[in-house]
């Protein structure tokens, strides 16, 4: 940066599972235990696809399969989260050594957190308490002053607007081209595109690069390990 040039401004909204961390199935195990505790059974949870989903949408799918109607589900969803979070802490602790950051994440977050004009945020289907616990268990201590979580909205596409409103309340206003959504599933790409934001997809999970490109990601990378390439993308 030279003279009076202002730093590049970016809001980088990151997914958690499969993008920042791998928690070795702790979330599914904790949710199974919570469903059994609250409702007496976990139904078809093992067959439910978690990728790119919000926690409430996963629980709703299970309860629908158990014959519950949506009005009943609406009144009982909140009962799940307290036992889920207690169980999640135990499941994460039991996986000591297997809960880890994804490739390149510590280096990338260190670079981004230290740059003026860059704001880090989260957009994840996890309820907020779950997201924070997973990040802490993996040793991620970067500041995320902005975020939107499954506890804010059941539909994934509704999360980026929540994050942008929270940024505004902090006095941070971004044009759509200054915001990147980073994730590893087509749902991450779709939720960014639904709000007119740019999307960086990483093929670190079950979805390959071609599939992520087909869903309209602005950029697809194998992972986040090449810090220079990721920074070039986000700051372009």
Domain shared by 175 and 125, yes or no: yes
Domain shared by 227 and 143, yes or no: yes
Asked which of 37, 66, 94 is the last residue of a domain, the reply is 94
Domain shared by 47 and 121, yes or no: no
Confidence of residue 7 (pLDDT cuts 50, 70, 90): confident
Domain shared by 189 and 218, yes or no: yes
Domain shared by 32 and 148, yes or no: no
Q: Is residue 5 part of a domain?
A: no
Domain shared by 139 and 183, yes or no: yes
Q: Is residue 212 part of a domain?
A: yes
Region class of 8: left (phi > 0), else alpha (psi between -120 and 50), else beta = beta
Q: Is residue 82 part of a domain?
A: yes
Say if residues 160 and 141 touch (Cβ distance below 8 Å).
no
Q: Is residue 46 part of a domain?
A: yes
Domain shared by 70 and 120, yes or no: no
Distance CA 96, CA 228 (A): 30
Nearest to 186 by CA among 220, 148, 151: 220
Asked which of 69, 94, 119 is the last residue of a domain, the reply is 94
User: Is the confidence at residue 26, as pLDDT, over 80?
Assistant: yes
User: Is the confidence at residue 2, as pLDDT, over 60?
Assistant: no
- pLDDT for the residue 4: 54
Domain shared by 18 and 40, yes or no: no
Domain shared by 162 and 196, yes or no: yes
What pLDDT, in 10s, does the model give residues 40-51? 999 999 999 999
Confidence of residue 1 (pLDDT cuts 50, 70, 90): very low
User: Is the confidence at residue 33, as pLDDT, over 50?
Assistant: yes
Average pLDDT over residues 24-43: 97
User: Is the confidence at residue 134, as pLDDT, over 60?
Assistant: yes
Average pLDDT over residues 66-85: 97
Average pLDDT over residues 201-214: 93
CATH classification at residue 46 = 1.10.150.240
Say if residues 31 and 59 touch (Cβ distance below 8 Å).
yes
What pLDDT, in 10s, does the model give residues 99-118? 999 999 999 999 999 899 99
Reported residue count of the chain is: 236
Asked which of 76, 94, 112 is the last residue of a domain, the reply is 94
What pLDDT, in 10s, does the model give residues 150-159? 999 999 999 9
- Between 99 and 6, the more confident residue is 99
Backbone angles phi, psi at 12, to 5 degrees: -110, 110
Domain shared by 89 and 102, yes or no: no
- Strand 146-148 to 219-221 pairing: unpaired
- pLDDT for the residue 96: 84
Domain count within the chain: 2
Task: Say what the pTM is.
Answer: 0.94
Average pLDDT over residues 30-41: 98
* Counts of helices then strands in the chain (DSSP H, E): 10, 8
Structural domain including 47 reads 26-94
């Amino acid at each position: 940066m030279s003279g009076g040039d202002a730093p590049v401004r970016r809001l980088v909204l990151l997914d958690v599972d499969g993008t920042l961390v791998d928690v070795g199935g702790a979330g599914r195990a904790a949710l199974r235990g919570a469903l059994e505790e609250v409702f007496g059974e976990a139904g078809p949870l093992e067959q439910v696809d978690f990728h790119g989903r919000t926690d409430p949408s996963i629980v709703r799918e299970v309860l629908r399969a158990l014959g519950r109607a949506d009005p009943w589900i609406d009144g009982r969803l909140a009962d799940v989260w307290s036992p889920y979070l207690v169980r999640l802490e135990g499941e994460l602790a039991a996986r000591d050594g297997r809960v880890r950051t994804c490739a390149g994440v510590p280096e990338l977050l260190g670079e981004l957190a230290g740059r003026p004009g860059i704001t880090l945020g989260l957009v994840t289907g996890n309820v907020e308490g779950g997201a924070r616990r997973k990040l802490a268990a993996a040793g991620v201590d970067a500041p995320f002053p902005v975020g939107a979580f499954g506890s804010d909205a059941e539909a994934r596409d509704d999360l980026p607007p929540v994050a942008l409103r929270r940024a505004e309340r902090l006095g941070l206003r971004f044009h759509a081209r200054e915001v990147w959504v980073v994730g590893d599933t087509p749902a991450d790409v779709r939720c960014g595109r639904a709000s007119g934001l740019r999307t960086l997809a990483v093929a670190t999970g079950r979805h390959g690069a071609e599939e992520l490109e087909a869903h309209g990601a602005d950029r697809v990378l194998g992972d986040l390990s090449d810090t220079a390439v990721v920074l070039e993308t986000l700051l372009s």
